[in-house]
């Protein structure tokens, strides 16, 4: 019977060991997994969330009953039960069945979680199992041992889970909330999961490569509310013992700042962008364990003085429309390549007189302007998944599958001293997933994906792009 039950990637990560380990007395945490990266006289070491952690010896229970049937025992009596038969209860670890020890489970505090301050601080970041699976597929295509080693490290870092269609939301939201809850119950740690809410009617009105499934009309707005936002709300309310961050609708509001007059599709979408945001802020912004960040494009979209001033008014209006819901802050550089710091650039002809030619200067300016616009909570999450190296683009507005890509700073809370309003560096756009197809005959072909500095041939947006991934890990800064 067990062999006929489908195992998901989430199930493979569901049960984690909860034993203490040698590393704690040395100031390092214990690993929640068991992948060995390094061994010394103290013991076995792994890497999680970009930090060293100690791997505890496997707990031993007197009743490791499943070994007689050819299966190992699970690492904890708290493991999630996936199947029960006459032998006992079965769980899943490392993609294989394991027997849950017949010990007494450790009680876990399952009180509702309430975010106070920076949601990225003091928690463990959830590892996206879908991305781990994608990277494993990429590794299977590699022969260079040094490149494989870099790719293996990519699996130890957290990135966002994109809910980019109603179907994908139904498949990925609850399973990953369950995965985070199971990891919490077996490890005792608070587990932060990051999702991208991304299915507005008329989505990405100024681009073609990432247009969505819902059109800019009243009927699809009703679907967005009832089939997408309401369903997400229901799952978030059900799984309320762990913190959740929502990255809200990349590119949408930034388009309302700059593209209403030049792009008819954006003018047609304005009503639905505004109503959609008001609705979701009211729904999600009252949940104590959820923090939301609205997207503000990037430095070479809204960085100019007049754009930032207009953005302050637009975002203040949108946030007010969602009252009593609250918004924690804003996210920048999503799916983009602008470096965090670029000291070679200044305000001048090369930057079209943009006073914010990198993301650091952009956020410094946005913090002042948004505060001046009356926005109360102004905190930022910068996407560093692909901005470790200055790419080959000839104009900073280039955005599609840029050559010269390098993965950037690792996900980390409060990463920059003196910028207390920067909540985190985080990988929102998973490196290796395409920005858009370079096939000129494709329905979703966007001219930017055919530009000179866009890597070609490229698959459809969201599909795996092996060459782009390999270049990104080769050019990683800091190195992998």
**pLDDT tens per residue, range 448-468:** 999 999 999 999 998 999 999
Q: Within this chain, do residues 273 and 358 fall inside the same structural domain, yes or no?
A: yes
Is 52 marked as a binding-site residue? no
Q: Within this chain, do residues 86 and 30 fall inside the same structural domain, yes or no?
A: no
Domain that holds residue 294: 124-475
Q: Within this chain, do residues 404 and 440 fall inside the same structural domain, yes or no?
A: yes
435 counts as catalytic: yes
For residues 426, 432, 435, 440, the Cα torsion angle rounded to the nearest 10 degrees is 170
Is 301 marked as a binding-site residue? yes
Q: Within this chain, do residues 312 and 454 fall inside the same structural domain, yes or no?
A: yes
* Pairing of β 244-248 and β 161-163: unpaired
Catalytic residue among 204, 220, 251, 342: 251
Within a domain: 410? yes
Q: How many domains is the chain partitioned into structurally?
A: 3
Q: Within this chain, do residues 90 and 158 fall inside the same structural domain, yes or no?
A: no
Q: Within this chain, do residues 47 and 173 fall inside the same structural domain, yes or no?
A: no
Confidence tier at 70 by pLDDT (50, 70, 90): confident
Q: Which residue has the higher pLDDT, 64 or 252?
A: 252
Q: Within this chain, do residues 311 and 343 fall inside the same structural domain, yes or no?
A: yes
Say yes or no to pLDDT of 62 above 80.
no
Within a domain: 11? no
Q: What CATH code is carried by the domain that includes residue 82?
A: 3.90.1220.10
251 counts as catalytic: yes
Within a domain: 312? yes
Distances (CA, A) of 265 to 187, 206, 268, 444: 48, 7, 5, 15
Within a domain: 109? no
Taking residues 261-289, report their average pLDDT.
97
Catalytic residue among 295, 332, 435, 446: 435
Q: Within this chain, do residues 218 and 82 fall inside the same structural domain, yes or no?
A: no
Would you say the pTM of this structure is higher than 0.85?
no
Is 336 marked as a binding-site residue? yes
Q: In 3-state terms, what secondary structure has residue 188?
A: coil
Q: What CATH code is carried by the domain that includes residue 177?
A: 3.20.20.40
Say yes or no to pLDDT of 3 above 50.
no
Confidence tier at 12 by pLDDT (50, 70, 90): very low
Within a domain: 251? yes
Q: Within this chain, do residues 282 and 133 fall inside the same structural domain, yes or no?
A: yes
Is 429 marked as a binding-site residue? yes
Is 304 marked as a binding-site residue? no
Within a domain: 1? no
DSSP bridge partners of 425:
382, 412
Question: What's the farthest any 2 CA atoms get from each other in the chain?
Answer: 75
Within a domain: 13? no
For residues 119 and 377, the answer to whether their CB atoms sit within 8 Å is: no
Q: pLDDT at position 19, please?
A: 38
Is 172 marked as a binding-site residue? no
Q: Within this chain, do residues 227 and 91 fall inside the same structural domain, yes or no?
A: no
Is 298 marked as a binding-site residue? yes
Within a domain: 84? yes
Q: pLDDT at position 42, please?
A: 66
Rounded to 5°, angle at Cα 195 from 78 and 391: 125
Q: Within this chain, do residues 372 and 448 fall inside the same structural domain, yes or no?
A: yes
Residues 130-142 pLDDT 10s: 999 999 999 999 9
Q: pLDDT at position 5, please?
A: 35
| Cα gap 125→180, rounded to integer Å | 9
Q: Within this chain, do residues 84 and 164 fall inside the same structural domain, yes or no?
A: no
């Amino acid at each position: 019977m067990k062999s006929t039950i489908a195992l998901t990637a989430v199930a493979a990560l569901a049960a984690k060991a909860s034993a203490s380990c040698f590393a704690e007395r040395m100031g390092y945490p214990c690993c929640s997994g068991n992948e060995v990266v390094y061994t010394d006289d103290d013991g076995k070491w792994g890497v999680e969330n970009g930090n060293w952690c100690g791997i505890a010896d496997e707990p031993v229970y007197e009743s490791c009953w499943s070994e007689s049937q050819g299966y190992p025992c699970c690492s904890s009596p708290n493991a999630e039960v996936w199947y029960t038969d006459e032998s006992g209860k079965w769980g899943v670890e490392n993609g294989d069945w394991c027997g849950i020890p017949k010990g007494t489970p450790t009680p876990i505090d399952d009180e509702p979680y309430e975010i106070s301050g920076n949601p990225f601080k003091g928690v463990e970041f959830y590892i996206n199992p879908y991305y781990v699976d994608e990277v494993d597929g990429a590794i299977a295509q590699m022969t260079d041992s040094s490149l494989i080693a870099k790719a293996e490290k990519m699996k130890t870092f957290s990135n966002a889970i994109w809910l980019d269609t109603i179907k994908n939301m139904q498949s990925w939201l609850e399973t990953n909330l369950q995965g985070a809850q199971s990891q919490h119950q077996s490890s005792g740690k608070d587990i932060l999961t990051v999702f991208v809410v991304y299915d507005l009617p008329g989505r990405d009105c100024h681009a073609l490569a990432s247009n969505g499934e819902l059109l800019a009309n009243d009927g699809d707005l009703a679907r967005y509310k009832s089939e997408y936002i309401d369903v997400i709300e229901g799952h978030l309310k059900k799984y309320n013992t762990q913190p959740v961050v929502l990255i809200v609708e990349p590119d949408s509001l930034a388009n309302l700042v700059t593209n209403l007059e030049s792009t008819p599709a954006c003018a047609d979408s304005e009503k639905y962008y505004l109503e959609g945001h008001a609705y979701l802020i009211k729904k999600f912004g009252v949940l104590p364990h959820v923090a939301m960040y609205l997207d503000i494009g990037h430095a070479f979209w809204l960085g100019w003085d007049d754009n930032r001033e207009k953005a302050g008014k637009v975002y203040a209006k949108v946030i007010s429309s969602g009252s009593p819901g609250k918004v924690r802050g804003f996210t920048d550089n999503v799916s983009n390549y602008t470096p965090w710091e670029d000291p070679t650039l200044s305000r001048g002809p090369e930057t079209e007189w943009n006073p914010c030619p990198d993301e650091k200067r952009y956020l410094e300016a946005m913090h002042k302007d948004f505060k001046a616009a009356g926005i109360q909570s102004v905190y930022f999450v910068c996407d560093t998944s692909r901005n470790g190296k200055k790419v080959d683009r000839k104009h900073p507005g280039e955005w599609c599958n840029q050559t010269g890509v390098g993965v950037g700073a690792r996900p980390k809370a409060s990463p920059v001293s003196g910028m207390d309003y920067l909540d985190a560096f985080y990988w929102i756009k998973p490196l290796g997933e395409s920005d858009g197809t370079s096939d000129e005959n494709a329905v979703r072909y966007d001219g930017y994906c055919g530009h000179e500095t866009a890597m070609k041939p490229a698959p459809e947006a969201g599909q795996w792009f092996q060459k782009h991934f390999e270049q990104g890990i080769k050019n990683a800064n800091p190195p992998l």
